[in-house]
Homo-oligomer: A and B are copies of this chain.
Amino acid sequence: MGRNKLVMKKIENSTSRQQTYSKRKDSIVKKANELAVLCDTDVALLMFSPTGQLTSYSSRGSVEDIMLRVVNRPGELHRRPIPNEQYFSQRLAQLKYESEMVEKIAMLTRRSLISSIKD
Interface residues of A (CB under 8 A from B): 6, 8-11, 17-18, 20-21, 24-25, 27-28, 31-32, 34-35, 37-50, 53-56, 58, 62-64, 66-85, 88, 91-92, 94-96, 98-99, 101-103, 105-106, 109-110, 115-117
Q: Which residues of chain B have C-beta atoms less than 8 A from A56's C-beta?
A: 70, 76-79
Give the residue of B17, B34, B38, B81 whose beta carbon is less than 8 angstroms from that of A17: B38
Assess whether B24 is in contact with A116, with CB atoms less than 8 Å apart: no
Cross-chain contact B64 with A10 (CB below 8 angstroms): no
Q: Please indicate which of the listed interface residues A32, A73, A98 has the most CB atoms of chain B within 10 Å of its own CB.
A: A98
Measured CB to CB, the closest approach of chain B to A42, in angstroms, equals: 5
